[in-house]
Amino acid sequence: MGTLPPKGVWQDKFRQLDEVWPTTNDYRAASGAPGHRYWQQKVDYKIKVALDDAKQRATGSETITYNNNSPDTLKYLWLNLDQNQLVKGSDPINARTNDGDAKESFGSMRLTMAHEKSTQGLMVSTVTDEAGKPLPYIINGTMLRIDLRAPLLPSSTVTFSLAWTLDVPEVDVFRTRGGYEYFKDDKNYAYYMSQWYPRLASYSDNDGWHIRQFFANSEFTLEFGDFDVEITVPADHIVASTGELRNADKILTDAQRQKLDDAKTATKPVVIVSQAESTAKESAPSKEKKTWHFKATNVRDFSFASSRKFIWDAQGHEVEPGRTVLAMSFYPKEGNPLWEKYSTATLIHTLDVYGRFSFPYPYPVVQSINGNVGGMEYPMLAFNSGRPEKDKKTGKLTYSSRTKYSLVSVIIHEAGHNWFPMIVNSDERRWTWMDEGLNTFLQFQAERLWEKDYPAQRGEPKDIVDYMKSPTVRPIMTDGESLDAVGANAYSKPATALSILRETILGRELFDFAFKEYATRWKFKRANPADFFRTMEDASGVDLDWFWRGWFYGTDNVDVSIDGLDEYTVNTQNPDVEQPIARKKRDEEPRSLTAERNEASAKTDDFFKMEVDQKPELKDFYNQNDRFTVSNADRNKFNTLVKGLEPWEKALLGVGEFAYVLDFRNIGGLVTPVILGITFKDGSTEQLRIPADVWRQNPGKFSKLIVRKKQISSVEVDPRLETADVDLENNAWPRKIVPSRLEIFKQTMPPSRNLMKDMDEPLKKDEKKDEKKDDDSPTAAPTL
């Protein structure tokens, strides 16, 4: 019902997306699953790296074995040199912009100055083939191309080696995802080694070589493979790494190995290296070296951290019957007492929640490392910031509730990235939401299961409203490097959309099955957006193209207005029933003001008396019977009508119910289910859920007839705030007064400089500098 929009105005908000999505083929099926000829490359690494703690430099060599599983012949290979984004004059540096005003923060200014004289970058010294002969190569920004001596045929393998050095960047200066942190109080370093070695770029069925430069914003994708890595560091360092330690007998003491063994079945974290032990090492650094040997199977990348400052705790957790994962945390004393209490416990909670929503964690270890990197994930290991504050005078350690909950959230988030994108592989450099959004959705589930009223920042529909209203909102399906407001766009909005899909549109049963199916199908494989969209529809059995179109491809928001509510009672067409009702209605209408005043005046002034009352002979039949009088002719007509009706038609005339026509308008443009909270005059309530399909004919407005036995007193749209409706003022009928508190403030002017008074102030001597916030205080870096 209702009028249709004219042809030029109508939009098909339900138009199918297969016109937009890539055509399916043998590699990617129309169901959203990997096709029967799905393939991906495999890249294995043997790396030796040594850290020079005096120069903060890493020197390494690596041998890469590249397995071409594609049906294509490859003449060259591309590698990522992400560290080259820091080379002076690089495109990522020269493409930086500022806001255009004459203001710049100290930190941003320091970064600009550091870029000006940066010598950072991966200095590749040799590229050689298996025989040790040099291979031709060219460096193109953050990429390196190796030209193979002979084309690499399908189902064949090539092995080659590189040697390189890296001046490890200082995280606080360069705001990188890894690097080193300097602790000036005890003059020690911690290294968070990320994106640190030449890494083979991805080659995929839909993109060929993933050749996009690293501009430092959106992250990366890589191929799966096996790693064998030897890491040489000062002998008193503790190394946390992707993979499993293979030479614990040479590296760890008997007591430490025993504790690690105990940790596997412990019910709370077991301390492997205590705060007292790590603190003792700070003032007497070792001159010796040790080599830690790690192996990792089927990982997308390899990262590690190293410092003599690390405290180390561990606890085993059974992720599926018979298989235990070791959750471990590494942190300097500056992280306590927060880290010893929350880090490993949070890892275990993450294993539980993510495992339930997708698949059991497949790797042997999961690790959380405290560093000044805001938050960044790598396989089996993540860097997380967040430390208590130390009172400069008393030395007392305290932390705000924000610091605590941010830490729990960032550990869930970064450990959660193991699932998306480290195991369910996606390319963040193109589609940031595919890992950040899906991961933030599960982070929200984990937060809601941590404690009652957990201060979750992302996932609740009402919390996305400000972004959805903002004029710079962009489609979620925007290239990672072109995003604005990345946190809102690629983290919060997809997480919220999925939350709405789960709680409001599909329901938990259908959603959870489909989401788990997506995770399972693409575990250790590379998924694209359409694979996710298609799987969610295929497995839930619900056409969701309108939902993806609205939430992922568009910039509309949800704003449904209820514009009217008309009440009807069913017309029985029986004149003996209907005419008295019509008369009553007439009598309830306001009377003519002229007639009313005439009657009042007639009491004292004969002029106003009615002519027919003064001359009764002027009255006739129509002074006794009006248009509401029922005649036998009316009754006969009704009886004839009733005789001609089918029994079910008769029944409808007999019902004594209330009918309502509700009018809705779609102001925001995004089509959505319409959830109504109906309150009846007797105080009872009802929830009515109208599916989004109601907008198919006219996405701008619709009217709906509902019939109830009881009289309605009010109707509210989205009473539980489950659809992210951006304007609640048009959600109630009758309109409600929205109560708020008016704050009255005193207008103040900034004090003007009073030079006469200022000149009288004596010069203060030797003022303590410690009122100023130190540069090494925890940075409020974003979660990545």
What's the token pair of residue 220?
């990366």
Asked if residues 54 and 563 have their Cβ atoms less than 8 Å apart, the reply is: no
Q: Give the residue with the Cβ less far from Zn ion, 346 or 731.
A: 346
Q: Give residue 147's Cα distance to chain centre.
A: 40
Instruction: Rounding to the nearest 10 degrees, give the CA dihedral for residues 224, 226, 232, 238.
Output: 80
Neighbours of 310 (CB within 10 A): 25
Q: How far is the CB of 314 from Zn ion (least distance, A)?
A: 24
The alpha carbons of the chain give a radius of gyration, in whole angstroms, of: 36
**Least distance between Zn ion and beta carbon 783 (Å):** 6
Within residues 707-736, the interface with Zn ion by CB under 5 A covers none
User: Which is closer to Zn ion, CB of 58 or CB of 216?
Assistant: 216
Classify 283 as helix, strand or coil. Answer: coil
Compute the least distance from the CB of residue 383 to Zn ion, in Å.
12
State yes or no: cis peptide before 421, omega within 30 of 0.
Answer: yes
Closest CA to 233 of 292, 182, 278: 292
CB of 205 to Zn ion, least distance (A): 26
Contacts of 611 (CB under 8 A, 6+ apart): 618
**Interaction with Zn ion in 426-445: which residues (CB under 5 A)?**
436
Q: Which is nearer to Zn ion, 74 or 410 (CB)?
A: 410
Distances (CA, A) of 263 to 451, 481, 712: 25, 43, 63
Beta strands in 153-234 (DSSP E): 156-167, 179-183, 188-193, 199-200, 203-204, 208-209, 225-234
Q: Is 219 in the site for Zn ion (CB under 5 A)?
A: no
Between 278 and 409, CB nearer to Zn ion? 409
Q: Could you say which residues in the range 72-131 bind Zn ion, by CB under 5 A?
A: none
Query: Binding string to Zn ion for residues 379 to 418, with x set by CB under 5 A, is what?
Result: ----------------------------------------
| Chain centroid offset of residue 710 CA | 43
**Which 627-666 positions form the footprint of Zn ion (CB under 5 A)?**
none
Q: How far is the CB of 682 from Zn ion (least distance, A)?
A: 51
Choice between 189 and 467, CB closer to Zn ion: 467
Which lies closer to Zn ion via its Cβ, residue 515 or residue 695? 515
Distance separating alpha carbons of residues 273 and 252, to the nearest angstrom: 10
DSSP state of 8: T
Per DSSP, what are the bridge partners of residue 9? none
Question: Minimum distance from CB of 443 to Zn ion (Å)?
Answer: 9
Kindly tell me which of 172 and 436 has the beta carbon lying closer to Zn ion: 436
CB of 482 to Zn ion, least distance (A): 18
Place of tokens 């009440």: 567
* Shortest distance (Å) from residue 428 CB to Zn ion: 9
210: number of Cβ within 10 Å: 21
Q: How far is the CB of 436 from Zn ion (least distance, A)?
A: 5
CB of 373 to Zn ion, least distance (A): 12
* Residue closer to Zn ion (CB basis): 436 or 463: 436
Q: Are the beta carbons of 201 and 78 closer than 8 angstroms?
A: yes
Rounded CA-CA distance 278/289 in Å is 17
Output 418 or 528, the one with its CB closest to Zn ion.
Answer: 418
Alpha-carbon separation of residue 392 from 389, 764, 777 (angstroms): 9, 21, 12
Instruction: Please tell me whether the peptide bond between 529 and the residue prior to it is cis, using omega within 30 degrees of 0.
Output: no
Closest by alpha carbon to 333, among 238, 412, 233? 238
Name the minimum Å distance from CB 413 to Zn ion. 6
Q: Shortest distance, CB of residue 500 to Zn ion, whole angstroms?
A: 21
* Closer by beta carbon to Zn ion, 515 or else 702: 515
Residue 263 vs 490, nearer CB to Zn ion: 490
Residues 542-571 that bind Zn ion (CB under 5 A): none
Residue 417 beta carbon to Zn ion: minimum distance, rounded to whole angstroms: 5
Of 43 and 488, which CB lies nearer to Zn ion in the complex structure? 488
Note the helical H segments in 523-627: 529-540, 545-547, 575-588, 593-602, 611-614
Sign of torsion over alpha carbons 512, 486, 381, 275:
negative
Residue 10 falls in which region: left (phi positive, over 0), alpha (psi -120 to 50) or beta: beta
Give the distance from CA 739 to its chain's centroid: 31
Secondary structure (3-state) at 133: coil
Judged by CB under 5 A, the number of residues near Zn ion is 1
Where does residue 644 rank: exposed (0-12), middle (13-18), buried (19+ CB within 10 A)?
A: exposed
In the bound state with Zn ion, the residue whose beta carbon lies nearer, of 418 and 731, is 418
Q: Closest distance between Zn ion and the C-beta of residue 81, in Å?
A: 23
In 300-442, beta strands by DSSP E? 304-307, 311-320, 323-331, 365-370, 375-378, 381-384, 389-390, 397-398, 424-425
For Zn ion, which is the closer residue by CB, 436 or 545? 436
Binding to Zn ion in span 222-241, by CB under 5 A: none
Residue closer to Zn ion (CB basis): 90 or 783:
783
Nearest to 688 by CA among 706, 710, 669: 706
Looking at 332-477, which runs of residues are DSSP E strands? 365-370, 375-378, 381-384, 389-390, 397-398, 424-425
Considering only residues 156 to 195 of the shown chain, the ones binding Zn ion according to CB under 5 A are none
Which residue number, 130 or 479, has a Cβ lying nearer to Zn ion?
479
We find the least distance from the C-beta atom of residue 547 to Zn ion, in angstroms, to be 23
- Least Å distance between CB 359 and Zn ion? 19
What's the CA gap between 637 and 573, in Å, rounded?
Answer: 10
Shortest separation between residue 378's beta carbon and Zn ion, angstroms: 12
Give the residue closest to Zn ion by C-beta: 436
Residues 481-500, interacting with Zn ion (CB under 5 A): none
- Rounded to whole angstroms, the Cα distance separating 640 from 661 reads 30
85, 219, 427, 578 from 480: Cα distances, Å: 17, 9, 9, 66
* Residue nearer to Zn ion on the CB measure, 227 or 420: 420
Q: Which residues bind Zn ion (CB under 5 A)?
A: 436
